[in-house]
Amino acid sequence: MARAYQEAHILESLTSSVKQLQSTTNELTRIKGLHEEKLKNLTAANEALVKKNEQLELRVKAKQFPKHERDITTLGQSQVIQILQALDIKTLGMGAADKKAELRAQLGLPKETSVTGGKPST
């Protein structure tokens, strides 16, 4: 009888240990999934940052970029087009004045006003 009691107690103890191990395994699996999701999100965020960095590098490397606001007025059409294309701006269908206006807008400059006889043109 004592032996049966010991065996029952051992079996109960082993069953409890197995349940704890299963619970721990389930928790570790859940945590692993969370870490994998976070890693996936961080990887995606890193890829987005790399892409933005490449775009910024492209903008910085734009050929013949004007150093002063007044230089925009002296740029030739091909130069304006090159700069706008480097900035990923579509120029198809735009007139010469529109391209220069778009360049000014991309640089955060106010619209240029033409002066005729001392008054802005309308």
Does 45 share its domain with 71? no
C-alpha 3/C-alpha 5 separation (Å) is: 5
Q: Which of 110, 63, 70 is nearest to 87 (CA)?
A: 63
Query: Residue 20: which domain range?
Result: 1-60
pTM: 0.43
Residue 22 domain-assigned (yes or no): yes
Q: What is the pLDDT along the chain (122 residues), one digit of tens a residue?
A: 788 889 899 999 999 999 999 999 999 999 999 999 999 999 999 999 999 988 887 767 655 767 777 888 888 999 889 888 888 889 899 999 999 999 888 888 888 765 544 444 44
Does 56 share its domain with 75? no
Does 15 share its domain with 53? yes
Q: Which of 91, 114, 113, 115 is nearest to 103 (CA)?
A: 91
pLDDT at residue 63, as a whole number: 55
pLDDT at residue 113, as a whole number: 66
Does 40 share its domain with 81? no
Does 83 share its domain with 96? yes
Does 14 share its domain with 56? yes
Residue 29 domain-assigned (yes or no): yes
